[in-house]
């Protein structure tokens, strides 16, 4: 099974914009860790297509409460797809 890299993911709707804005909002010291965690998640799930709901779900499941409060508005502002 080939390892999935973030650069190989297919992004639907505004999911890539959401991911990029969240990454830009993170303190620089956390960016590599969050990027790696997202890549690990994609590999565990064998998920190559990322939609907006995946961004929301990932925030809800993995982000500490204070980061959820900071980043959910990014999700809400850019949301263009119906949730699953």
Q: What is the pLDDT of residues 41-73, one digit of tens each?
A: 899 999 999 999 999 998 998 889 999 999 999
Q: Give the whole-angstrom CA distance, residue 60 versus residue 40.
A: 17
Compute the mean pLDDT over every residue in the chain, rounded to the nearest whole number.
Answer: 93
pTM of the model: 0.89
pLDDT, residue 83, reads 75
Q: What are the extents of the domains in the chain? A: 7-78
Contact 16, 52 (CB under 8 A): no
Residue 84 has pLDDT above 70, yes or no: no
């Amino acid at each position: 099974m080939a390892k999935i890299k973030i650069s190989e993911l297919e992004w639907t709707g505004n999911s890539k914009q959401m991911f990029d804005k969240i990454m830009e909002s993170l303190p620089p010291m956390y960016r590599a860790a969050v990027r790696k965690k997202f890549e690990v998640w994609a590999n565990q799930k064998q998920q190559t297509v990322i939609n907006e709901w995946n961004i929301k779900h990932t925030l809800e499941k993995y982000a500490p409460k204070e980061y959820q409060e900071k980043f959910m508005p990014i999700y809400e502002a850019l949301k263009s797809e119906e949730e699953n």
